[in-house]
A and B are shown apart, each in its own frame.
Chain A
């Protein structure tokens, strides 16, 4: 006798089941319910519909005629509201229908973030045709769209809306796009390609509210920024649609639990698709659903079969963004990476190996070989024999190493190589073609690298690329083993290519490791924050411990704590607070430093936030005694007390320290201000020294009193305090923007020449611009790190204390 099969949900999974059943002429009478007012269509093709490449008719899988031919009774636009397992019936608004076998295929529901304003008009999700049509309608009047969620769905929605002429911003909570499928490097390339098509991407953006009275007007972020919006698309994830199953008392975890035959805890009820959970796993892509569909059809026909989840791969359906991700990047011991980057073509590939088997792959830019790699993953092929050339793909034999010049070769002609003289790559190429075949000649013809000289390496590389084998570049030391580029090359690339994140630098400069090392990361972190103070976020994990913990690590692993004493001036109250803190935290050593302040040595790491809090409460801030940044401004007592003083050196020192503190510099920065040429503040062996004279202030730079001892060289003489402050800010900024990381000012001046520094600060326009950039950066960095760290003091405590836990 023909059995009654009732199907809840006419989606991609159940559609496949029906096809298998009818192909096998299974003896079922099928009744199909769908909440959507239509039958089965190819949901994954909604994105081409949104972007206008396809119409709904193009993506219908089963039309009315198909259902009629197969004898399916359809109830579309009719959600099932309950299942009665005892009576074996389902109920909808249209009545109750009996079943012998029931198939639950309800898919998932978009996750809605519970923020105020989520129900406003103009807030949509991206799941079905109605959502897609709502977006297409909204795009007709143009305006701004904000897409919340930078995963697969969010980005496809964003690309489609941009295609339809909207001004689109994507907000993503995590640090890079599609973080579940991509690593940072691929995420960076994806972001760059999306930005090229006019989409704004904001990562680490957390939505606090959607604003508007009747319909959406703006989105409010947790950092206070508001973004105007005429349309908001929420694409932050999906949740298995399990409500019916839960109400019916079936076993439900995150999804409806099924066995390998796809049976739920009630053997007459079968489930399939995104609503199920199998072996702790959920499913969000169609490939496994199609495997499930085969098993469901067999189970319904009483033929034994088992469902086994396979490796999955992801692609993004946005034209021009070629990406591929497959397998597993998760934690495990014994895994290795192979990374290949070709900046010229914007290509990135990373393979994750375990025991000579590829377990994961991420590719961007060129995914032609992705199926081959996916095959290796799926088949668990032993790759030991081809390991050396594996990353180059199936066609590759022989293994040419990647070309260190490819990054420079890839630069377009209009990229500026020499910032001082505004010389672009094309001008250098032209000069070379016109006969300038060595560095000196290029310099003479174009002036490129003729001023500060930091772009010399890049100019040479342009020469090398243009001349080919005829050019032999002098070997310059690269930053570290992760790259062939020098510090100067990388700084120039960061500026001219507008690289604003570490993965961007790694990719564009052809880094050979996945995430740098302890040598390059601190340098890159400094370069990025110095050049892009607003766009780049400081990365504590790329700093040496002293700067990460804002205290100086000592040889026994304890720390020293030095509060700032502006210009070396303190008060009885401050001294009392320091003494109290020293008592309270049993500080073993209290020392007066050469920088005119007090050092508390031997503080335990976990006590740091507490001692800082006490010092903060007494009005003191971090002295940055540990940083590559402004340390101290040493002063003498000047006209206040000294009979020889010519100016208020103490007052000027305090002003300088108060404006410069918190700034990061390539190496430490120490200043001195002496009130007269007797120079009691020893200003002429500081990085920047000011000596007051009757007629004004002599400013000199490049002193040192460490392994090298050097006297400063005169920079200029000015008449007023205000001018001193301007010149000091300008020269500090020039140093920040141009020097190699870990070069003190004297080393940097020796490379770029004092004359160039003098010219740069003497030119009033340049001075003003440098000063403005310094102040801009200080709006971000002139903050007390101690106060900021007190607020997250739990990170200084142990993660767990197991000292009382019994062994075994």
Chain B
């Protein structure tokens, strides 16, 4: 886990995102999806499947992965990599929960995700 920075942005309460669900953050460079897993981990990824730019935030979240709603590509929330036979990569951003609030690393503002 490289690219740790102290520049965390407070986004919203954890409860604003449903378990096994996602919500969007708008940035100047496009939308970032914030995912919450069944065990309350949070992950932030670009909201575009490497296949056909499907909106990942609208997919089904299971374990630490999301299935794209358009063509069922399964993307790892941890690494952003497409799973199984598919190949492709989504940019990920450091995210964490502190005292029930979601915080995201400000690197997403410059849109250079850490894989």
B25 with A337: CB separation less than 8 A: no
Q: Which residues of B contact A (CB under 8 A)?
A: 1, 9, 11-12, 16-21, 23-28, 31, 34, 37-43, 52-55, 58-64, 67, 69-70, 72, 74, 78, 96-97, 102, 106, 108-110
Complex CA distance for A330 and B27, rounded to whole angstroms:
27
Complex CA distance for A184 and B39, rounded to whole angstroms:
9
A184 with B38: CB separation less than 8 A: yes
Most buried by A among B34, B64, B72: B64
Q: Using known A-B contacts A515-B62, A542-B60, A802-B27, determine if residue A183 contacts B70 with beta carbons closer than 8 Å.
A: no
Q: Is A1 an interface residue (CB 8 A)?
A: no
Chain A residues closer than 8 Å to B37, beta-carbon distance: 331
Return A796 CB to nearest CB of chain B, in Å.
Answer: 9
Across the A-B interface, the 10 shortest Cβ-Cβ residue pairs? A518-B67, A331-B41, A545-B58, A518-B60, A799-B23, A541-B20, A807-B109, A545-B69, A557-B55, A807-B110
Q: Is A517 an interface residue (CB 8 A)?
A: yes
Q: Is A549 an interface residue (CB 8 A)?
A: yes
A515 with B26: CB separation less than 8 A: no
A799 with B11: CB separation less than 8 A: yes
Return A528 CB to nearest CB of chain B, in Å.
Answer: 15
Instruction: Encode A785-808 as 1/0 by CB contact (under 8 A) with B.
Output: 000000000010011111111111
- Could you pull out 6 A-B pairs where Cβ atoms are within 8 angstroms? A541-B18, A541-B20, A800-B12, A801-B25, A805-B9, A806-B109
Chain A residues closer than 8 Å to B28, beta-carbon distance: 802-805, 807
Q: Is A329 an interface residue (CB 8 A)?
A: yes
Q: Using known A-B contacts A521-B60, A800-B11, determine if residue A557 contacts B54 with beta carbons closer than 8 Å.
A: yes
Complex CA distance for A799 and B52, rounded to whole angstroms:
24
Complex CA distance for A543 and B62, rounded to whole angstroms:
12
Return B22 CB to nearest CB of chain A, in Å.
Answer: 9
A541 with B26: CB separation less than 8 A: no
Complex CA distance for A543 and B20, rounded to whole angstroms:
11
Interface of A is mostly: loop
B78 with A333: CB separation less than 8 A: yes
Q: Which residues of A contact B (CB under 8 A)?
A: 183-184, 329-335, 337, 513-518, 521-522, 540-545, 548-549, 553, 555, 557, 605, 795, 798-808
Complex CA distance for A330 and B11, rounded to whole angstroms:
19
B40 with A799: CB separation less than 8 A: no
- Partner of A541 from the list B16, B19, B70, B106 (CB cut-off 8 Å) is B19
Chain B residues closer than 8 Å to A805, beta-carbon distance: 9, 27-28, 109
B18 with A803: CB separation less than 8 A: no
Chain A residues closer than 8 Å to B41, beta-carbon distance: 330-333, 335
Chain A residues closer than 8 Å to B39, beta-carbon distance: 183, 329-331, 514
Q: Using known A-B contacts A335-B41, A557-B53, determine if residue A802 contacts B62 with beta carbons closer than 8 Å.
A: no
Return A264 CB to nearest CB of chain B, in Å.
Answer: 23
Q: Using known A-B contacts A553-B58, A798-B24, A799-B17, determine if residue A808 contacts B70 with beta carbons closer than 8 Å.
A: no
Return A697 CB to nearest CB of chain B, in Å.
Answer: 40
B63 with A515: CB separation less than 8 A: yes
Chain A residues closer than 8 Å to B20, beta-carbon distance: 515, 541-542
Q: Using known A-B contacts A521-B62, A549-B58, A557-B55, determine if residue A331 contacts B25 with beta carbons closer than 8 Å.
A: no
Return A189 CB to nearest CB of chain B, in Å.
Answer: 17
A802 with B25: CB separation less than 8 A: yes
Taking A799-B11, A802-B25 as known contacts, 14 extra A-B pairs with beta carbons closer than 8 A to each other, sorted by chain A number, are: A330-B41, A514-B38, A515-B63, A517-B62, A518-B59, A518-B72, A545-B55, A555-B52, A557-B55, A605-B55, A800-B12, A801-B25, A801-B26, A805-B109
A334 with B1: CB separation less than 8 A: yes
Complex CA distance for A557 and B72, rounded to whole angstroms:
14
B25 with A517: CB separation less than 8 A: no
Chain A residues closer than 8 Å to B109, beta-carbon distance: 802, 805-808
Complex CA distance for A95 and B96, rounded to whole angstroms:
51
Complex CA distance for A515 and B41, rounded to whole angstroms:
14
Chain A residues closer than 8 Å to B31, beta-carbon distance: 798
Complex CA distance for A337 and B69, rounded to whole angstroms:
25
Residue in B closest to A175 when the chains form the complex, CB atoms = B19
Chain A residues closer than 8 Å to B67, beta-carbon distance: 517-518
Chain A residues closer than 8 Å to B72, beta-carbon distance: 518
Residue in B closest to A546 when the chains form the complex, CB atoms = B69
Complex CA distance for A522 and B53, rounded to whole angstroms:
23
B60 with A541: CB separation less than 8 A: yes
B60 with A795: CB separation less than 8 A: no
- Partner of B40 from the list A331, A515, A795 (CB cut-off 8 Å) is A331
Chain A residues closer than 8 Å to B40, beta-carbon distance: 329-331
Chain B residues closer than 8 Å to A799, beta-carbon distance: 11-12, 16-17, 23-25, 34, 102
B63 with A513: CB separation less than 8 A: yes
Chain B residues closer than 8 Å to A514, beta-carbon distance: 38-39, 63
B96 with A331: CB separation less than 8 A: yes
Residue in B closest to A805 when the chains form the complex, CB atoms = B109
Chain B residues closer than 8 Å to A807, beta-carbon distance: 28, 106, 109-110
- Partner of B38 from the list A515, A540, A543 (CB cut-off 8 Å) is A515
Return B42 CB to nearest CB of chain A, in Å.
Answer: 6
A337 with B63: CB separation less than 8 A: yes
- Partner of B60 from the list A544, A605, A808 (CB cut-off 8 Å) is A544
A555 with B106: CB separation less than 8 A: no
Residue in A closest to B30 when the chains form the complex, CB atoms = A803
- Partner of A800 from the list B21, B25, B59, B62 (CB cut-off 8 Å) is B25
Complex CA distance for A807 and B105, rounded to whole angstroms:
11
Residue in A closest to B1 when the chains form the complex, CB atoms = A333
Most buried by B among A540, A795, A802: A802
Return B111 CB to nearest CB of chain A, in Å.
Answer: 8
Residue in B closest to A541 when the chains form the complex, CB atoms = B20
Chain B residues closer than 8 Å to A548, beta-carbon distance: 58
Complex CA distance for A507 and B24, rounded to whole angstroms:
33
Return A381 CB to nearest CB of chain B, in Å.
Answer: 22
Return B115 CB to nearest CB of chain A, in Å.
Answer: 12
Return A430 CB to nearest CB of chain B, in Å.
Answer: 41
Residue in B closest to A503 when the chains form the complex, CB atoms = B38
A334 with B78: CB separation less than 8 A: yes
B21 with A541: CB separation less than 8 A: yes
Complex CA distance for A184 and B37, rounded to whole angstroms:
13
Residue in A closest to B53 when the chains form the complex, CB atoms = A557
